[in-house]
A and B are shown apart, each in its own frame.
Chain A
Amino acid sequence: MNLFLSTHGKTFRAEWQKLKRTGIFWLCLGAALFIPIINTLVGFLMDADPSAENAWGSFLQNNFVGFTGFFFPLFLVITMVRLVYLEHRSDTWKLMETQPVARLSLYIVKYEVALLISLLCLIGLLLFALLGGAILGAAKPDTGFVKSSIPWAEVFGALVRYWIASWALLAIQYFLSLLIKSFAWPMTIGLVAIIAGGMFAGFKVLGWFPYSAIVYTSASYKGSNTGGFLLHHELLSLAWAALFLWLGFQLFIKRGFAAAFIRGGRQLAQTLGVIAIFAILFWIVTKPSVSSPYAKTVLTGTLEMDKLPGEVQLLQAPAFNVVMSGKVANGRFHLSTDNAIPKGIYYLRAGSVRMPVFFGAKDSLHVALTTGKRGTELKFGGTRMAENSFLKEYEPGTGYLQNYGHTLTPFEYSSRVMDRWESEGKEIDRYKTVDNVKPAEDFIAWQKKDIGCIFIAAARCGIS
């Protein structure tokens, strides 16, 4: 370890020197420049969006999401494969292995260089996006860049999370590049995996697939709702990276798949042991959590509105009688009750705003309510965060029945209603928030029954 510490800085600098004339820096520059140029051009050609809350926020988000969907993972794959192929092409591994530096240092330094390049690319993207926004703001004042401020915390948070989401991809590509001594095959595998990862994320299946992590970061660009920093797919990216870095190191020092992993009882036991540790980590990270009931019934929140109301009320349908109420002070409110109020949909009223929330006895819910150009937005925290997030995002798939129900026979109609009901029930079962929190069973049962009501209502519309 002493040798590693004493030589690692020099090994890193030497590895960095190898990048000269590889084209990686130009590729990094081009990759970081491409999407901001397109978005800036689009900004010039399109009319400004009057409903945009923050021109900088949405412009930067568009750049990050646009870049990381495909180009960023592709850039990472090319970079990692290129870094390893540098050694394969001239068989310079043997030159490196006869240097007085720790093998771990020789191995890990390539990954570190790839991580640094990945970070530089994201920073480059941010700088070019800022430049694009500044140009747009100066040339087209109606775009709103001048009036809005740059959401630094949000954009830096996203940048770091994108970077961490890239760790798994880089580690797996490193492993593949060591295993397969060619340029084309690790590239091809990486490209196929990127496309597959994008599709899996689109269909919300196989959320653990390491090549999906960057796409999931895009889907949760604004980060955690619970105040945490890394989301579960980013933590999973770290776990994948740890596993594949270990596997890659075994391959690096033992030279060959069989010698590294399966030849000899001890080697096999070691491999299985590490995979078992990873499986435990994987289970811990991917297992969704479910909020437990609280000791009291509390509803707190913050209000960001042009005109703050004096009071906030929780109303119960259908008669909208007041279940809880409390004063608003400095944009904050705190409601509580000792009554055993049943679980279900209530309405939170703050001035002219009335929004549905799922709530009940022994729940502690925090609501952040904001009204702006895009209407009212709610963010939830507390024991019913996942349930209310689901309700916020949920849109029943009743459109076909409403529009074309009259063309179906009674049997076809009832079959379609049943299919949709089952399918949406499964969707609730699969639902998780960006913080990997699942709705509680009582909500799932309640929501499945509610979907039944929604489809019965849809049936009436469709038949009439």
Chain B
Amino acid sequence: MNYAIETRELSFSFRNGFPVVDRLSLQVPMGSIYGFLGPNGAGKTTTIRMLTGMLLSDRDNIFINGASLQKSIPQVFEKIGALIENPSLYLHLTAIENLRMITTLRGLPKARMDAVLEIVGLTGAARRKVKEFSLGMKQRLGIAMALLPDPSLLILDEPANGLDPSGIIEIRELLKRLNSEGKTIFVSSHLLAEIEKTCTHIGVIHKGSLRYQDTLEAMQQTASASGEVVFRIPAAAERLVNLQGHHPDCRQVGTDEVLFPFAKREDVALLNQQLVGAGVPVEGIQVRGGLEDWFMRLTQKN
């Protein structure tokens, strides 16, 4: 399979030796919108900085469109547009002047400036100084800057950060439209709902390591299939040792509540049968599942 981005056991530590990125093997299929999901501090921005060559990997283990990043910097940026952390803009210049600077630098036709301004809906603000822009406008101009070279790969770090709901919807629609034009989009976020609404593929990072990576459908199936069930059992504390003998993963979560993780929905009924059969008085059952629970479980593990 051809990957727009592929990393092989990518690692990075700062000087204190603490691994910020730990053996990360990303596979971003061409033509996908890949959501790189993780809580704040998970290592998303560090990974993106490595993917754009701003942080150097000791090993040759990042590949863009099949070619080694180390060997193809900076020419690789001919076809990459990137927005890393906050949009990098010259605040003293107008929107069009910011775009003109990059157009000059890359030797692009001037018509691209108007085209990208229209794409991000900033045509009317082209001649306004960027320091007068709202955060959302800056974010959109940042995306416009990334779109200038008409890249085949867009790398966007939290593009919806600081946007109001309508701005978030606009960005979402924009990403879908760009993807439909054939661009691969790698977008990081800490918002599960946002990723779920936008992406075709998902990678979950937590504490620097990749906890999950697959298509959106596969993730939804996994998330809905697995989960946790809480059984209401009187005098749970007295029965816990006995229960853990048969189910080592279970734990007490309330005075009369014991939680059991499950991998398949069918396991809940089976578990109930086992408990009742063993004489445990089950007074109630509450199944916890869905995407958010799944994500929380994934990112609460060490």
| A contacts, CB < 8 Å to B | 3, 7, 10-11, 13-14, 17-18, 20-22, 86, 89-95, 97-103, 258
Structural contact, B89 and A90, CB atoms closer than 8 A: yes
The answer to whether B84 touches A98, judged by C-beta atoms less than 8 angstroms apart, is yes
B90 contacts A by Cβ under 8 Å: yes
Residue of B nearest to A14 (CB): B105
Cβ–Cβ < 8 Å partners of A21 in chain B: 92-93, 129
Residue interface bits B105-127, CB-to-A below 8 A is 1, else 0:
11100000000000000000000
**A17 adjacent to B101 (CB under 8 Å):** yes
B286 at the interface (CB under 8 A from A): no
CA distance A167 to B174 in the complex (A): 48
Cβ of B3 under 8 Å from chain A: no
- Given A89-B91, A102-B74, does the pair A97, B53 have CB atoms closer than 8 Å? yes
**Segment at the A interface, from B75-83, B232-240, B293-301:** B75-83
Size range of the interface on B?
20 to 34
Q: Are A100 and B106 in contact (CB under 8 A)?
A: yes
Instruction: Enumerate 5 A-B pairs (CB-CB under 8 Å) in ascending A order.
Output: A17-B97, A17-B100, A20-B93, A94-B84, A99-B74
Given contacts A94-B85, A95-B88, 4 further A-B contacts (CB under 8 A): A14-B104, A90-B88, A93-B88, A97-B53
Assuming the A-B contacts A100-B76, A101-B74, are A14 and B91 also in contact, with contact meaning beta carbons closer than 8 angstroms in the complex?
A: no
Complex Cα gap A100–B49 (Å): 16
Residue of A nearest to B78 (CB): A100
B76 neighbours in A (Cβ, 8 Å): 100
Q: Are A98 and B52 in contact (CB under 8 A)?
A: yes
**Chain B interface (Cβ < 8 Å from any Cβ of A):** 15, 49, 52-54, 74-78, 80, 82, 84-86, 88-93, 97, 100-102, 104-107, 129, 145
A90 to B77, CA, bound (A): 21
CB distance from B114 to the nearest CB of A (A): 17
In angstroms, how far is the closest chain B Cβ from the Cβ of A422? Answer: 54
Complex Cα gap A13–B90 (Å): 16
Note all chain A residues with C-beta closer than 8 A to B78. Answer: 100
Q: Tell me whether B105 and A86 are in contact (CB under 8 A).
A: no
Let me know if A92 and B90 touch, CB within 8 A: yes
Residues from chain A with a CB closer than 8 A to the CB of B105 are 7, 10-11, 13-14, 99, 101
**B297–chain A nearest beta-carbon distance, Å:** 34
Query: In the complex, what's the smallest C-beta–C-beta distance from B33 to chain A, in angstroms?
Result: 20
Contact at A100–B104, with CB atoms within 8 Å? no
Q: Which 10 A-B pairs have the closest CB atoms?
A: A95-B88, A14-B105, A100-B77, A92-B88, A14-B104, A98-B82, A100-B78, A21-B92, A17-B101, A14-B101
In the assembled complex, the Cα of A14 lies from the Cα of B97 at a distance in Å of: 10
Report B-chain residues with C-beta under 8 Å of the C-beta of A20.
Answer: 92-93, 97
Check B54–A98 contact: CB distance below 8 A: yes
A328, B273: Cα distance in complex, Å: 129
Contact for B54 among A11, A18, A97, A100, CB less than 8 A: A97
- Asked if B74 contacts A18 (CB within 8 A), the reply is no
Which chain B positions have C-beta within 8 A of A11? 105
Asked, given contacts A3-B75, A10-B105, A17-B101, whether A98 binds B90 with beta carbons under 8 Å apart, the answer is no
Complex Cα spacing A21 to B131, Å = 12
> Roughly how many angstroms separate A18 CA and B100 CA in the complex, as a whole number?
10
Most chain B C-beta atoms within 10 Å of own C-beta, residue among A11, A17, A102? A17
A323 to chain B, nearest CB (A): 71
Minimum CB–CB distance from A445 to chain B (whole Å) comes to 59
Given contacts A20-B97, A98-B54, A98-B82, contact A10 B104 (CB under 8 A): yes
Assembled-state Cα–Cα distance A17/B98 (Å): 9
Q: Which A residues touch B129, using CB under 8 A?
A: 21
Residues in A neighbouring B97, C-beta threshold 8 A: 17, 20
Instruction: Tell me whether chain A's interface is mostly helix, strand or loop, or mixed.
Output: helix
Q: Are A99 and B145 in contact (CB under 8 A)?
A: no
Question: Which A residues are in CB contact (< 8 Å) with B80?
Answer: 98
Q: How far is the CA of A101 from the CA of B76 in the complex (A)?
A: 10
B53 surroundings in chain A (CB, below 8 A): 97-98
Nearest chain A CB to B277 CB, angstrom units: 62
Using Cβ atoms and an 8 Å threshold, which residues of chain B touch A92?
A: 88-90
CA distance A103 to B54 in the complex (A): 11
Chain B, residue nearest A93 (CB): B88
Contacting residues, chain A, for B90 (C-beta < 8 A): 18, 86, 90, 92
A120 to chain B, nearest CB (A): 20
Which A residues touch B74, using CB under 8 A?
3, 97, 99-103
Q: Out of B54, B86, B92, B107, which one reaches A10, CB within 8 Å?
A: B107
> Which residue of chain A lies nearest to B82 when distances are taken between CB atoms in the complex?
A98
Question: Which residues from chain A contact B85 at a C-beta distance below 8 Å?
Answer: 91, 94
Complex-state Cα separation, A93 to B112, whole angstroms: 23
Q: How far is the CA of A136 from the CA of B76 in the complex (A)?
A: 60
The CA of A11 and the CA of B119, in the complex, are separated in Å by 26
Asked whether A90 lies within 8 Å of B145 as measured between CB atoms, the reply is: no
Contacts of B82 in A (CB 8 A): 98
Cα A377 to Cα B54 with chains together (Å): 63
**A18, A22, A93: which has the most chain B beta carbons within 10 Å?**
A18
How many angstroms between the C-alpha atoms of A368 and B80 in the bound complex?
67
A258 to B86, CA, bound (A): 27
Across the interface, do B84 and A10 meet the contact criterion of CB distance under 8 Å? Answer: no
Minimum CB–CB distance from A376 to chain B (whole Å) comes to 58
Chain B neighbourhood of A89, CB < 8 A: 91
Please give me the residue from chain A that is nearest to B130 by CB atom.
A90
Q: Which of A18, A89, A97 has the most CB of B within 10 A?
A: A97
The chain A residue with its CB closest to the CB of B76 is A100
- Give the distance to chain A from B168, nearest Cβ to Cβ, in Å: 23
Interfacial chain B residues near A17, Cβ < 8 Å: 97, 100-101, 104
Nearest-Cβ distance from residue B80 to partner chain A, whole angstroms: 7
Counting chain B CB atoms within 10 Å of each CB, the highest count among A17, A21, A94, A98 belongs to A98
Q: Report the Cα distance A103→B75, complex, angstroms.
A: 11
Instruction: Report the bound CA distance from A98 to B107 in whole Å.
Output: 15
The answer to whether A90 touches B91, judged by C-beta atoms less than 8 angstroms apart, is: yes
Residues of B within 8 A of A93 (CB): 88
Nearest residue (CB) in A for B97 is: A20
Select A91's contact among B77, B86, B107, beta carbons within 8 Å. B86
CB-defined contacts of A14 to chain B, threshold 8 Å: 101-102, 104-105
Q: Shortest beta-carbon distance, A126 to chain B, in Å? A: 30
Cβ–Cβ < 8 Å partners of B52 in chain A: 94, 97-98
Q: Is the CB of B88 within 8 A of A18?
A: no
Instruction: Give the chain A neighbours of B145 by CB distance below 8 A.
Output: 95
Contact B77 A98 (CB under 8 A): yes
Contact call A18/B77, Cβ cutoff below 8 A: no
* Bound Cα distance from A22 to B91, whole angstroms: 10
A13:B77 contact, CB within 8 angstroms: no
Smallest Cβ distance from B98 to chain A, in angstroms? 9
Residues of B within 8 A of A98 (CB): 52-54, 77, 80, 82, 84
